[in-house]
């Protein structure tokens, strides 16, 4: 048996590799967006693709997000598989009409005759010191739109596997890339990058019996750090990485909560109307009799995303997570 | 380095060379809308084509009248009539080849029917039993599009994709004068021109966006002039002259097919009926204006031309009207049957595979329906 040495790679590199492999495997895959060609994207995720596959396959479009997504819809109608890059979370908003009125509905509108197999990559989230409009967590908008899948990786391996799956999906997928994890490193096997992950399965990143932290994307490493810190308090926390917000993996989440009896949902997005409310409701509806405490949320504040010099106060951190864990009615047990 | 820093050493230098990227002159629309009927150009028009256009116009008018009547009988939720605009509707369909694609707006049911769509299926959206009643691939007609101008970038993308694949396909996208103010109009035209996509944009300027007249919509010399800013030709045509619209569209489609890129066509026409059956047009326009446009009726214009030139006799007129009546009778009869509805369809096509929660909700509705049936007996 030969073993291939594992090499460290960044999430950005894994995403590039996923795009490249998808384009090589399927000539209908087209990458398009602002600066994705010659420059390789502002985060360099499309680096080298225009050179390797030509500008017809990796296209610098005019600067207009609705136009990018709208033309991608037409391309998908004709049998192509466009992968659209939105330059930043907040700059995807001009494309919302196309996204909501057409991308999410075309399959349904045409009773399945005209599915739209397109992937919309959106760098999202804060923690990179970005000035206004560069740090939004927009997942709640996407989750609230039936017809879209919403996926977000937290690890290098998932960045590859989930992006491949998103591109292979016959449904539109909003692929949220936690931009502060772009440069996070992990070891992987470049010969067999990763398996293509099925969309819709959560994963237990850390097992523990005291309580469950339900989280995704940029908050996964924060939760893992919190779980380590919690050992000092005598808590053994389980961390569930959702990976896919739509479809939602009730099974994995509820199995964990039934085991631990306590749950905290952690995300950067604002709490009010945010994903945590939905998740807490689903957990409560399904696991009520297993719960020792109400499901709590640690979320960003309900404010416009703060300026970079203040963002650390906004982002859920280890202390805030541990505070929430501490409020899970432990007294009742002793 | 600033002038201060190199005091005395700086000599102003001219800006790097600039020149216009394209010569705007050939892109400009003519001063007058192009006309064929009643002009010398009419003699050159193919009589068979004119007769075909005539029969389609008569059928189209009858379709509009019948569909409007169906709203009164409660068989259609709403109908945005294209009465007065039939020349644009019919010419749009006839200017395309089989393999080409049509991207209609919500008012363009008739264009879809003229392209070969089943008249009942074309009304599914307006009857309300589903959002689209046909497989778009069958006649290469995209779903009738309600959010204004949002279908335009789809047409551009499809045309672009076809060209990338090496297919000889043109897309024709239809939009109203009001829709031309939307951002998607701008973005679609810009993408089309930059990509030199084989797409043709047909703006039916029918004077109104519901109640709002063109003067409140734009300060441009004409909508066709907007083309120049994108670097594509703009064409103005009398939208009630079926021969002229057909010719201008056919030229633009040919140019797109031959690699000449997109064209923007503004057809000057008039929405003779109210915005929809639910609208009261007397609140925003006078009878005299409507009467003037009724006198420039697309069917009357073509009928006059053809009879004057001995290309259409009473028998042919009667034949066209009879064919239209047959279509209307069939439409009436079929629309008077209740559509077959299956509430489970609500969950069937949201995704390729329903998510867990959709499966749960489907089961819930199924149980509710079951209980309803039990209760009913
Ligand atoms: C994005 C959007 N905004 C508003 C409407 C509501 N609406 C339907 S038709 C219409 C007027 C459209 O005018 P025009 O583009 O000139 O087309 P016409 O009705 O004259 O064919 C409006 C405002 C809509 N359908 N879509
Ligand atoms: Mg109008």
Residue B297 has pLDDT above 60, yes or no: yes
A177 shares a domain with A58? yes
Give me the residue label for tokens 């076809």: B162
Task: Give the pair of three-digit tokens for residue B162.
Answer: 């076809």
Rounded Cα gap, residues A101 and A88, in angstroms: 21
pLDDT at res. A187: 80
Radius of gyration (C-alpha) of chain A in whole angstroms: 20
A181 shares a domain with A49? yes
The residue ranges of chain A whose pLDDT is under 70 are 1-5, 190-195, 332-334
pTM summary value: 0.96
A30 shares a domain with A171? yes
Whether residue A265 contacts residue A276, with contact meaning beta carbons closer than 8 Å, is answered with yes
Using H for helix, E for strand and C for coil, what is the string for chain B?
CCCCCCCCCCCCCCCCCCCCCCCCHHHCCCCCCECCCCCHHHHHCCHHHHHHHHHHHHHHHHHHHHHHHHHHCCCCCCCCCCCCCHHHHHHHHHCCCCCCEEECECCCHHHHHHCCCCCCHHHHHHHCCCCCCCCHHHHCECCCECCCCCHHHHHHHHHHHHHHCCCCCCEEEEEECCHHHCHHHHHHHHHHHHHCCCEEEEEEECCEECCEEHHHCCCCCCCCCHHHHHCCCEEEEECCCHHHHHHHHHHHHHHHHCCCCCEEEEEECCCCCCCCCCCCHHHCCCHHHHHHHHHCCHHHHHHHHHHHCCCCCHHHHHHHHHHHHHHHHHHHHHHCCCCCCCCCHHHHCCCCCCCHHHHHHHHHHHHHHHHHHHHHC
Average pLDDT over all residues of chain B: 96
Verify whether ligand 1 is closer than 6 Å to residue B216 (CB atom): no
CATH of the domain at A270: 3.40.50.920
Chain B residue with CA closest to A62: the answer is: B191
End-to-end CA distance of chain B: 91
Does the CB of B351 have a partner CB in chain A at under 8 Å? yes
Cα of B45 vs centre of ligand 2, distance in Å, is 29
pLDDT in tens, B161-203: 999 999 999 999 999 999 999 999 999 999 999 999 999 999 9
A183 shares a domain with A252? no
Number of H helices, E strands in chain A: 12, 14
Band the pLDDT of B340: cuts 50, 70, 90. very high
pLDDT at res. A1: 42
What number is the average pLDDT over the span B215-244?
A: 98
Contacts of B257 (CB under 8 A, 6+ apart): B168, B170, B198
Better-predicted residue by pLDDT, A7 or B92: B92
The answer to whether residue A54 sits within a structural domain is: yes
Tally the C-alpha atoms within 13 A of residue A325's C-alpha that lie toward its C-beta.
Answer: 29
Give, to the nearest 10 degrees, the angle between helix B47-72 and helix B242-257: 110
Average pLDDT over all residues of chain A: 95
Domain boundaries, chain B: 25-335, 345-374
CATH of the domain at A159: 3.40.50.970
pLDDT in tens, B38-89: 999 999 999 999 999 999 999 999 999 999 999 999 999 999 999 999 999 9
B230 is catalytic: no
The sign of the dihedral angle between the CA atoms of A18, A21, A23, A25 is negative
Cα of B265 vs centre of ligand 2, distance in Å, is 14
The answer to whether residue A2 sits within a structural domain is: no
List chain B residues with CB under 8 Å of A114: 135-137, 143
Rounded Cα gap, residues A200 and A114, in angstroms: 23
A214 shares a domain with A159? no
Verify whether ligand 1 is closer than 6 Å to residue B146 (CB atom): yes
Question: Which of B105, B136, B145, B154 would best serve as a mutation to test chain A binding (most A beta carbons within 10 A)?
Answer: B154
The answer to whether residue A1 sits within a structural domain is: no
How many domains is chain A partitioned into structurally?
Answer: 2
At the top level of CATH, which class does the domain B25-335 belong to?
alpha beta
Residue in A62, A105, A171 nearest the CB of B190: A62
Q: What is the ipTM score, two decimals?
A: 0.96
The answer to whether residue A276 sits within a structural domain is: yes
Contacts of A301 (CB under 8 A, 6+ apart): A270, A271, A314
Whether residue B159 contacts residue B142, with contact meaning beta carbons closer than 8 Å, is answered with no
The answer to whether residue A196 sits within a structural domain is: no
A183 shares a domain with A222? no
Q: Does B345 sit within 8 Å of A111, measured CB to CB?
A: yes
Contacts of A94 (CB under 8 A, 6+ apart): A64, A65, A66, B183
Domain range spanning residue A234? 203-333
Cα of B298 vs centre of ligand 1, distance in Å, is 23
* Catalytic-role residue among A134, A149, A267, A314: A134
Q: Does B188 sit within 8 Å of A70, measured CB to CB?
A: yes
A239 shares a domain with A146? no
Strand (E) or helix (H) holding A244? strand A244-246
The answer to whether residue A197 sits within a structural domain is: no
Does the CB of B170 have a partner CB in chain A at under 8 Å? no
List chain A residues with CB under 8 Å of B162: 78
A183 shares a domain with A114? yes
The answer to whether residue A250 sits within a structural domain is: yes
pLDDT at res. B377: 58
The answer to whether residue A217 sits within a structural domain is: yes
A127 shares a domain with A256? no
A301 shares a domain with A154? no
Chain B residue with CA closest to A199: the answer is: B355
């Amino acid at each position: 048996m030969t073993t291939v040495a594992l090499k460290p790679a960044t999430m950005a590199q894994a995403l590039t590799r996923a795009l490249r492999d998808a384009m090589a495997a399927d000539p209908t895959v087209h990458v398009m967006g602002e600066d994705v060609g010659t420059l390789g994207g502002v985060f360099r995720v499309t680096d080298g693709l225009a050179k390797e596959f030509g500008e017809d396959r990796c296209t610098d479009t005019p600067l207009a997000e609705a136009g990018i997504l709208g033309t991608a819809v037409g391309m998908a109608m004709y049998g192509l598989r466009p992968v659209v890059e939105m330059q930043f979370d907040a700059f995807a908003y001009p494309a919302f009409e196309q996204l909501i009125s057409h991308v999410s509905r075309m399959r349904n509108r045409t009773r399945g005759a005209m599915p739209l197999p397109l992937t919309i990559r959106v760098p999202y989230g804060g923690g990179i010191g970005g000035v206004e409009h560069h740090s939004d967590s927009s997942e709640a908008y996407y989750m609230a739109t039936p017809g879209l899948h919403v996926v977000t990786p937290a690890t290098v391996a998932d960045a590859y596997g989930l992006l491949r799956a998103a591109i292979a999906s016959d449904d539109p997928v909003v692929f949220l890339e936690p931009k502060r994890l772009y440069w996070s490193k992990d070891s992987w096997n470049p010969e067999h990058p990763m398996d293509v992950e099925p969309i819709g399965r959560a994963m237990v990143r850390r097992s523990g019996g005291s309580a469950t932290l339900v989280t995704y994307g940029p908050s996964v490493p924060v939760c893992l750090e919190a779980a380590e810190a919690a050992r000092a308090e005598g808590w053994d926390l389980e961390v569930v990485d959702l990976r896919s917000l739509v479809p939602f993996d009730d099974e994995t989440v509820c199995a964990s909560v039934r085991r631990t009896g306590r749950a905290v949902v952690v995300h950067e997005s604002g709490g009010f109307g945010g994903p945590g409310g939905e998740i807490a409701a689903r957990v409560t509806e399904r696991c009520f009799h297993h719960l020792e405490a109400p499901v709590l949320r640690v979320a960003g504040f309900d404010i416009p995303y703060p300026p970079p010099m203040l963002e650390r106060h906004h982002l859920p951190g280890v202390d805030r997570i541990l505070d929430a864990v501490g409020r899970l009615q432990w007294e009742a047990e002793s | 380095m600033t002038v201060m820093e190199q005091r005395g050493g700086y000599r102003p230098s001219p800006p790097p060379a600039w020149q216009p990227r394209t010569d705007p002159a050939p892109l400009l629309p003519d001063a007058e809308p192009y006309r064929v009927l009643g002009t010398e150009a009419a003699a050159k028009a193919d009589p068979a084509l004119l007769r075909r256009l005539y029969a389609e116009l008569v059928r189209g008018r009858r379709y509009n009248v019948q569909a409007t009547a169906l709203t009164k009988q409660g068989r259609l939720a709403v109908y945005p009539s294209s009465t007065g605009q039939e020349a644009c509707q019919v010419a749009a369909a006839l200017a395309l080849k089989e393999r080409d694609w049509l991207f209609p707006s919500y008012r363009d049911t008739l264009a879809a029917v003229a392209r070969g769509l089943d008249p009942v299926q074309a009304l599914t959206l307006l009857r309300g039993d589903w959002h689209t009643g046909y497989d778009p691939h069958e006649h290469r007609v995209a779903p009738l599009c309600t959010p204004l101008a949002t279908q335009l970038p789809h047409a551009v993308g499809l045309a672009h994709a076809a060209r990338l694949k090496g297919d000889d396909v043109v897309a024709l996208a239809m939009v109203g004068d009001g829709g031309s103010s939307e951002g998607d109009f701008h973005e679609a035209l810009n993408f089309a021109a930059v990509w030199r996509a084989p797409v043709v944009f047909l703006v039916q300027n029918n004077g109104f966006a519901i109640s709002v007249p063109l003067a409140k919509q734009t300060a441009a010399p004409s909508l066709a002039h907007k083309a120049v800013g994108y670097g594509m030709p703009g064409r103005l045509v009398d939208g009630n002259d079926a021969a002229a619209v057909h010719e201008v569209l056919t030229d633009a489609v040919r140019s797109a097919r031959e690699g000449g890129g997109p064209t923007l066509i503004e057809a000057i026409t008039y929405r003779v009926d109210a915005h929809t059956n639910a609208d009261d047009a007397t609140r925003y326009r006078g009878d005299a204006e409507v009467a003037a446009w009724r006198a420039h009726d697309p069917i009357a214009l073509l009928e006059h031309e053809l009879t004057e030139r001995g290309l259409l006799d009473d028998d042919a007129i009667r034949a066209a009207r009879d064919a239209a009546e047959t279509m209307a009778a069939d439409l009436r009869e079929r629309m008077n049957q209740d559509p077959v509805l299956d509430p489970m369809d609500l969950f069937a096509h949201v995704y390729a595979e329903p998510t867990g929660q959709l499966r749960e909700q489907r089961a819930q509705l199924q149980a509710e329906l079951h209980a309803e049936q039990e209760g009913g007996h």
